[in-house]
Amino acid sequence: MLEISQLVKRYGHDEPVLKGLDLSVEGNSVVSIVGASGAGKSTLLRCINRLIEPTSGSIKLNGTELSTLKGQALRNARRRIGMVFQGFNLIDRLTVMENVLAGRLGYVTFLQAWRRRFPQEDIERAFQLMERVGIAQYANKRADELSGGERQRVGVVRALMQEPDILLADEPTASLDPVTSEQIMKLMRSLASELSLPVLINIHNVAQARAYTERIVGLRHGRLIFDGPPERFDKAALDQVYGGIEAPDESMAPTPAEENV
């Protein structure tokens, strides 16, 4: 269970990006976070695994306070938090298998990492997960030879290799074409339920948020202004979240199939 309370992030003396945010995610629900660019979605996710240092507030994962951890304790906490990135952030020049095993870097020693001698169970798990998402045949291919959708699958598998307690996804489909991005959203939803894993997805695509997640959280100017099931995310809520800032990426299409991308 993830509990965020009064989270503030301020860069220098500028206006805070996050202004006292409260959010809790229980069980294995898939939550999407929507909001215009600059609303603080990415900052929120990165505060959770401390890629960005929160200014104040508390973030608890399964009872452990994350916001004050340092050094080894922080790294140990991070390895239980999987993250999927918009730009995939794969190690392009390494193979798919090395990228997948990189998900275990928090668990193995430097020497093991250097010599690529990962424990047998890690290799088993890697093949299982790669087979599950359909990339096992690429194990020894270089990561930059894969297509966007395949690369994001590698990204998802790498995160799952961590045996995470929670999965964070920062605009995981924004670099993908519409069909592929549907596939990735479906994949993440089914993996979440198979592994009973809570998932937080930053997403620009409101139609996909409505179709693939159980709960929508709307951010605007660093504040949480909507929190509820997709059915309640209506035209009024959409205007509240995006109104006057920019048009959302997608129209309020009732089904993803009708997207006009």
Partner 1 sequence: MSSTPHRWRRQPFIANPWLRWTLIAGVLTYLGWALATLPFDWQRIGEGLPRAVRIFGGGLPPDFDRYQLLLDGFKESFQIALLATLLGVLLSIPFAVMAARNIVPRPVYLVGRAIIIVARSFHPVIVAILFVKAVGFGPLAGILTLTLYSIGFVGKLLAEEIEEIDWGQVEAMRAVGAGYLSTLLYAVFPQILPRQIGLSMYQLDSNLRASAVVGIVGAGGIGSTLMNAFGRYDYDFAFAILLVIIAVILVSEGVSGWVRKRVW
**Dihedral-angle region of residue 32 (phi above 0 means left; psi in -120 to 50 means alpha; beta otherwise):** beta
Asked if 118 touches partner 1 (CB under 8 A), the answer is no
Q: What is the nearest approach in angstroms of partner 1 to the Cβ of residue 143?
A: 10
CA dist., res. 79 & res. 162, Å (int): 6
Region from 31-39, 97-105, 124-132, 225-233 binding partner 1, contact rule CB under 8 A: 97-105
Region from 100-108, 206-214, 225-233, 234-242 binding partner 1, contact rule CB under 8 A: 100-108
Q: How deeply is 109 buried, as exposed, middle or buried, from its count of CB atoms within 10 A (0-12, 13-18, 19+)?
A: exposed
Residue spans of alpha helices (H) in the chain: 41-48, 71-78, 96-101, 110-115, 120-133, 148-161, 178-194, 206-212, 235-242
Q: Which of residues 16-75 bind partner 1 (CB under 8 A)?
A: 49, 51, 75
Region from 83-91, 184-192, 206-214, 237-245 binding partner 1, contact rule CB under 8 A: 83-91
Cα dihedral 162/206/41/23 (nearest 10):
-80
Asked if 93 touches partner 1 (CB under 8 A), the answer is yes
Nearer Cβ to partner 1 (102/224): 102
CA dist., res. 32 & res. 204, Å (int): 9
Q: Identify the residue whose tokens are 């401390």.
A: 50
Asked if 245 touches partner 1 (CB under 8 A), the answer is no
Region from 28-36, 76-84, 126-134, 237-245 binding partner 1, contact rule CB under 8 A: 76-84
Nearer Cβ to partner 1 (92/239): 92
Residues 35/53, Cβ–Cβ less than 8 Å: no
Q: Which two tokens stand for residue 81?
A: 């938090």
CA dist., res. 5 & res. 135, Å (int): 39
Asked if 114 touches partner 1 (CB under 8 A), the answer is yes
CB atoms under 10 Å from CB of 43, counted, come to: 21
Region from 108-116, 124-132, 184-192, 217-225 binding partner 1, contact rule CB under 8 A: 108-116
Among 10, 57, 60, 105, binds partner 1 (CB under 8 A): 105
Nearer Cβ to partner 1 (26/92): 92
Q: Which of residues 151-170 bind partner 1 (CB under 8 A)?
A: 158-159, 162
Residue type, 202: N
Asked if 115 touches partner 1 (CB under 8 A), the answer is no
Residues forming the site for partner 1 (CB under 8 A): 49, 51, 75-83, 85, 87-94, 98, 102-107, 110, 113-114, 158-159, 162
